[in-house]
Amino acid sequence: MSTSNGATKAAIVTGASRGIGRAIALRLARDGFAVVVNYAGRRDDAEAVVSEIERSGGRAVAVQADVSDPAQAAGLFERAEGAFGGGVDVLVNNAGLLQVSPLAETDDAAFGRLVAVNIAGAFNMMREAARRLREGGRIVNLSSSALATSLPGYGAYNATKAAVEAMTRVLAKELGPKRITANAVAPGPVATELFFDGKSPEQVARMAALSPLNRLGEADDIAPVVSFLAGPEGGWVNGQVVRANGGLG
């Protein structure tokens, strides 16, 4: 995929070494984007995503960065611009942490980690995107349908995703003059390593039963939604939160 002047269209996907981020990176590569596959610590997994994209004829590069660090967030854009010979057109803010615990049992360190990655990380990347995306670009932030269910144990996590949704709506208005859209996708429970971590089979079954479709989502259920918002047909959708959750709420 290229811009009107022939430049390669490029996308940055944070937290793209596994799970939903991996599926999004692969889908955007199939859509024709050159992709920066960001990872925090799973280098081998990220490089495997790059290899899969390249085997299919696409272009990608794996870049380690902690998005909670403003300098490293800026470095992601610099690496993309250097690797693909131009600007960046799409940012997908997927990197995030999930910790479930009652508010009374959530310690300062756990809360600080959630805020650092889920809020500050998204903010750092959105700020860079607001300054550096090419005209007509797309920002897609990952939120969560947990906001709609208000399940016990999700208070701190939900607070971080509420912040992401709030920033998304404001940014959509701020970037309108540049024809840059900003939207959020809010998955329900998705069968990823992040979701399964620390949950018993009984808990997983209860979560799956919350959906009218009586199953967990899959990463490949979410990637096409992001693809739509990142592509030309999603250009009139702006400042919205798409709850991709099988009817959960």
The residues annotated with a catalytic role in the active site are 157
| Rounded Cα–Cα distance for residues 145 and 185 (Å) | 9
Q: Which of 27, 14, 38 is nearest to 164 (CA)?
A: 14
**Helix, strand, coil share of the chain (percent; to 5):** 50, 15, 35
Contact (Cβ atoms closer than 8 angstroms) between residue 190 and residue 20? yes
Close Cβ partners of 3 (under 8 Å, ≥ 6 residues apart): 9, 86, 89, 134
Question: 8 by DSSP, 3-state: which?
Answer: strand
The residue behind tokens 């992601």 is 76
CA 190-192-197 angle, 5° bins: 110
Confirm if 59 and 84 have CB atoms less than 8 A apart.
Answer: yes
Residues in CB range of 102: below 8 A, 6 or more apart: 152, 153, 155
